[in-house]
Amino acid sequence: MMTCDEVRVLLHALLDGELDAGHAREVEAHVAGCPRCATELSQFREMRGAMAGANLRLAAPAALRSRIEAALPAPVVRAPALTGG
């Protein structure tokens, strides 16, 4: 059985769907029997819903995007492997 400290570390990962099935079940089982962790999970869900509804996404200015793209390394083009005969 997981401890509250272990579960608190994994609550956001659970909400984001980042846990494998086994860990998700363990966290959910703990939350089902722990009012404190259940409250924390509920608060995270409420916060997540409020943030999603707040339209907080902003587009980066075109100049910033250009500077970032210019700073990225060029893709490496590999020659096809030669086959011997």
pLDDT digits 0-9 by tens, 6-37: 999 999 999 999 999 999 999 999 999 999 99
Number of neighbours of residue 31 by Cβ within 10 angstroms: 21
Instruction: Summarize pLDDT for 64-84 with one digit per residue, the tens.
Output: 999 999 999 888 888 777 776
Residues 38, 32 contacting (CB under 8 angstroms):
yes
**What are the domain boundaries of the chain?**
4-53
Sign of CA dihedral 20, 22, 25, 29: negative
Which pTM value belongs to this model? 0.61
Q: Report the candidate in 35, 42, 36, 39 with the shortest Cα–Cα distance to residue 15.
A: 42
Which whole number is the average pLDDT over 51-76?
Answer: 86
Decide if 10 contacts 27 (C-beta within 8 A). Answer: yes
Burial of 24 (0-12, 13-18, 19+ CB in 10 A): middle
